[in-house]
Amino acid sequence: MRFSRFLAPTLKEDPKEAEVLSHRLLVRAGFFRQHMSGVFVFLPLGWRVLQKVARIIREEMDRIGAQEVLMPSLTAGEVWKATGRWEAFGADMFRLKDRKGRDLALAPTHEELMTLLARNHFRSYRDLPQILYQIQTKFRDEPRPRGGVLRSREFAMKDSYSFDATWEGLDESYALHDRAYRRIFDRAGLKYVVVSASSGLMGGSQSEEFMVPSEAGEDRLVLCDACGYAANVEVAEGKREDHSVPSPFQKMEKVSTPDVRSVEEVAGFLNVTPELIIKGLVVRTPTRMVMALVRGDRDLAESKLQRALGEEVRMATPEEVLDAFGAPIGFVGPVDAPPEVEIIADLSVRQVERGVVGGNEEDTHIVGVTPGVDFPVSRYLDLALVKEGDRCVRCGEPLRFRSAIEVGHIFKLGTKYSEALGAFFTDAEGKEHPIIMGSYGIGLARVMAAAVELYADEKGIRWPLSIAPFEAVLLDLDPGKYGEITRKLYTSLQEKGVEAIWDDRNISAGVKFKDADLIGYPFRLVVGERGMREGKVEIQHRFDGTSRKVPVEEAAISLAEWVDHERRHFAPG
Ligand code: ATP
Ligand code: MG
């Protein structure tokens, strides 16, 4: 490929819409452009990287016996209604109607369609297990598209789905994916940690995320350096150093707290620390209303609450709260709560003595309240997020917090979708059972951006060889003089199987060097006056800057060997 005929519009300035490093660099280096918020045009460089990521993924999915299919993006509304996700996705789902007025959706994921496929084709235990996958565009109207392709509204995902007859079979399919994912991310050159993640509704089921530690990430990880414990903060457990705080309140009484709602406001108004305040959050499940209590110095972990309740959970609306408690959010509390509302509490609440709760009356709180004495608590459990200062549940060492980018997610679904959509198989005795499923995703552009976040330096991107748009760039610093030599070099690199681009532009050497560093090709071969005086060219490695000067006639073979050596580093082991 000749650069002069190649669409790679590099920019000198950072694009103004980009706050995240990888976004800035990938736009500046000409990998993609924004079409509108959260929607991107991939230019040749970007598309080449995505294709390389896709190829690694395909090889590793094929290796575990997965079969590639292609589901449509345009999907019938009724299948989403059948599983309740037409509502559950809310505004995240792009919806439309066809000319007959039928509800349609642009698929944000494909559990429903894959389950329907299984229903039609996997009828007997003899048809199982199976793994199907695709690399397909997903559509999600993300509330905050961010970081360029890290969180977009249209994005390519590899999603696979496993179908098993037994729970042991699901364990096996899950383990196969775990291994495939490690190989994929190793081969793509990423550094990552595998953390336990929220498994949502399915009690015993397992879920792990593949996380690339990075300040650009939106996820928070909790790590223990001593024993290797790693979890998403949503589900992480910690040993707490909670202690109780002495209370200034002698007896239980109502106090007027006009317009004082949040923990900070209440603490300031009553001149107490947050440890004395009990927050009450009212949530709804499809069947009931629950008040979850946490001490004022901690935050509720929604996924822990969801797991504890075993049902889908959402915050109650202001109207629902007013209706049940007779008071607005901010003033509700567990004392004299409506009897149909179950009250559960985080472990921290047990330590509060003569604390403060909402008064179930506008502008009112109650002070001097003790859980278990002044109001009932049906269960105490871990419902709070871990925080700085908590220790590892396994080994007691201090926990560390880090931001990270989620590049992949593996998930034991169980039978939720097969039951909802009627995907049953018959066992050897002719009895029917729901197919046991898993689902597994990787965001291709997130892999690309995560690599940029990991390895970029002050000059630009540094690609791992395996996903670089080209393995090498040939810089011809004086096309008038060395054009013929460079052309020969380029041809022989091609013959030797090195993927190279030839920067033959009639522009200054400085710009060529700058662009090469910005775009981040792993290898750079320079044909210029200085070396050619001795009949030599320079080969340099972008990662660590090591370089070699070699006679021009040995240059192609020397670079090919170096590339080959490096390829082995990323090769499937
Ligand atoms: P997040 O919590 O970051 O929104 P998610 O839990 O919604 O991710 P999944 O539905 O599990 O993600 O999707 C599988 C994979 O698809 C993710 O691990 C991620 O790599 C990728 N992905 C998800 N949402 C986006 C997006 N908006 N843009 C780009 N990639 C995405
Ligand atoms: Mg999401």
Give 437 Cα–ligand 1 centroid separation in angstroms: 19
Whether 47 and 147 map to the same domain: the answer is yes
Strands (E), 415-522: 424-426, 432-434, 436-443, 472-476, 500-503
The strand order across the sheet containing 103-106 reads: 74-76, 103-106, 94-97
406 Cα nearest atom in ligand 1: 18
pLDDT along the chain (573 residues), means of 10: 95 90 97 96 98 98 98 98 92 97 98 98 98 98 94 98 98 98 98 87 74 96 94 92 87 94 93 95 93 95 89 90 93 94 95 95 95 95 94 94 97 95 97 98 98 98 98 95 94 97 95 98 97 96 96 97 95 80
Domain limits for position 498: 470-570
Give 411 Cα–ligand 1 centroid separation in angstroms: 13
Residue 100 placed within a domain: no
Give 450 Cα–ligand 1 centroid separation in angstroms: 13
- Residue with the smallest CA separation from ligand 1 atom 26 is 151
Give 286 Cα–ligand 1 centroid separation in angstroms: 26
Whether 25 and 142 map to the same domain: the answer is yes
Give 341 Cα–ligand 1 centroid separation in angstroms: 35
Of 389, 423, 453, the position where a domain reaches its end is 453
Q: Which CATH number belongs to the domain containing residue 493 in this structure?
A: 3.40.50.800
Whether 68 and 177 map to the same domain: the answer is yes
The residue whose two tokens read 């106090």 is 255
Contact 442, 253 (CB under 8 A): no
- Residue with the smallest CA separation from ligand 1 atom 25 is 151
Give 194 Cα–ligand 1 centroid separation in angstroms: 15
DSSP state of 393: T
What phi, psi does 207 have (nearest 5°)? -155, 135
Pocket test for ligand 1, best of 212, 302, 406, 440 (most atoms within 8 A of CB): 406
Give 257 Cα–ligand 1 centroid separation in angstroms: 43
Whether 33 and 129 map to the same domain: the answer is yes
409 Cα nearest atom in ligand 1: 18
Query: Ligand 1: which residues within 6 Å by Cβ?
Result: 109, 140, 142, 151-152, 155, 157, 406-409, 441-443, 445-446
**Ligand sitting nearest the alpha carbon of 138:** 1
Whether 305 and 271 map to the same domain: the answer is yes
Q: Which CATH number belongs to the domain containing residue 283 in this structure?
A: 3.90.960.10
Contact 25, 13 (CB under 8 A): no
Instruction: State residue 203's pLDDT score.
Output: 46
Whether 430 and 507 map to the same domain: the answer is no
CB count, 10 Å around CB of 398?
A: 14
Q: Which CATH number belongs to the domain containing residue 45 in this structure?
A: 3.30.930.10
- Residue with the smallest CA separation from ligand 1 atom 27 is 151
**Alpha helix (H) ranges present in 122-227?**
167-187
Residue 514 placed within a domain: yes
Whether 368 and 267 map to the same domain: the answer is yes
Contact 295, 348 (CB under 8 A): yes
Give 263 Cα–ligand 1 centroid separation in angstroms: 33
Residue 344 placed within a domain: yes
159 Cα nearest atom in ligand 1: 14
Rounded (10°) angle between helices 479-495 and 555-570:
50
Give 443 Cα–ligand 1 centroid separation in angstroms: 6
**Ligand sitting nearest the alpha carbon of 445:** 1
* H/E run at residue 36: strand 32-36
Whether 311 and 361 map to the same domain: the answer is yes
* Amino acid letter for position 553: E
As a whole number of Å, the CA-based R_g of the chain is 29
Whether 69 and 198 map to the same domain: the answer is yes
Instruction: State residue 311's pLDDT score.
Output: 82
Gap between the Cα atoms of 283 and 305, Å rounded: 10
Q: β-strand 314-315 against 278-284: which pairing, if any?
A: antiparallel
Residue 459 placed within a domain: no
- Residue with the smallest CA separation from ligand 1 atom 14 is 441
Whether 174 and 321 map to the same domain: the answer is no
Pocket test for ligand 1, best of 409, 412, 440 (most atoms within 8 A of CB): 409
Whether 436 and 501 map to the same domain: the answer is no
What phi, psi does 490 have (nearest 5°)? -60, -45
Whether 443 and 496 map to the same domain: the answer is no
Residue 247 placed within a domain: no
Q: Which of 528, 482, 475 is nearest to 505 (CA)?
A: 475
For 65-70, the CB contacts below 8 A with 24+ separation are 65/131, 65/176, 66/131, 66/132, 66/133, 66/160, 67/130, 67/131, 67/132, 67/133, 68/132, 68/133, 68/134, 68/135, 69/117, 69/132, 69/133, 69/134, 70/134, 70/136
Structural domain count, the chain: 3
Pocket test for ligand 1, best of 446, 447, 448 (most atoms within 8 A of CB): 446
- The number of angstroms, rounded, from the C-alpha of 34 to the middle of its chain's C-alpha atoms is 21
* H/E run at residue 47: helix 44-63
CB count, 10 Å around CB of 543?
A: 16
Give 150 Cα–ligand 2 centroid separation in angstroms: 11
Question: Angle CA(384)–CA(385)–CA(389) in degrees, nearest 5?
Answer: 110
Residue 407 placed within a domain: yes
Gap between the Cα atoms of 18 and 148, Å rounded: 7
Residue 507 placed within a domain: yes
- Residue with the smallest CA separation from ligand 1 atom 11 is 409
Give 201 Cα–ligand 2 centroid separation in angstroms: 16
**Ligand sitting nearest the alpha carbon of 410:** 1
Residue 84 placed within a domain: no
